[in-house]
Amino acid sequence: MMDKKGQGSLSMNTIVVAIIAIIILLLLVTFFTGGLSTIGQRITEVFRTGTSGYDLDLAVRNCDDYCARAEKLGSNTLAIKSSAFCNQDFDIDLNVNNQLEANEKGLKCYGTNSVPGVTCSITVSQCTS
């Protein structure tokens, strides 16, 4: 009599290869239907600004860092104008209502429509003139 034990089962290698093939097939289908672009956009939104924009503390720290870098440029006005301190915009939910209103969008590190709490020796005229 022959022992038929295990003849009907799949090997572990076959199972692993089948799982990998299914994952690759799903990725290909998602890619060709345009699903990866929307997934990428959602991930980017989460890590970039979230639903309520930048955190105020993070924006102040970024502006302070940008200021320090701009100050190191000395009297090079063209370099200061093109610096992140003069050009970076922030969307910050200042009233913490989870909605960005018009006065909370496009805040700069300097000037009248600026991130609250930023102090820097770089002036508005250095960024705009």
DSSP assignment of 71-120 equals: HTTTT-HHHHHTSHHHH--B-B-TT-SSS--GGGSSBBSSSSSB-TT---
- Collapsing DSSP states into helix, strand and coil, what is residue 55? coil
**What pLDDT shows up at residue 20?**
96
* One domain, residues 38 and 66: no
* One domain, residues 107 and 85: yes
**What pLDDT shows up at residue 4?**
55
Residue 7 belongs to a domain: no
Residue 2 belongs to a domain: no
* One domain, residues 25 and 88: no
Residue 16 belongs to a domain: yes
* One domain, residues 60 and 95: yes
* One domain, residues 33 and 76: no
The number of distinct structural domains making up the chain is 2
For residue 59 the two structure tokens come to 């924006």
* One domain, residues 40 and 76: no
- 78-85 — which CB contacts under 8 Å span 24+ positions? 80/122, 80/126, 80/127, 81/126, 81/127, 81/128, 81/129, 85/109, 85/110, 85/120, 85/122, 85/127
**What pLDDT shows up at residue 64?**
92
Residue 3 belongs to a domain: no
Give the domain range for residue 92. 56-128
Each of the 129 residues of the chain gets a pLDDT tens digit; together they read: 455 555 667 788 999 999 999 999 988 887 777 666 666 666 666 565 444 556 888 888 999 999 999 999 888 889 989 998 999 888 888 887 878 888 888 889 988 888 888 888 888 888 887
**What pLDDT shows up at residue 19?**
95
**What pLDDT shows up at residue 51?**
43
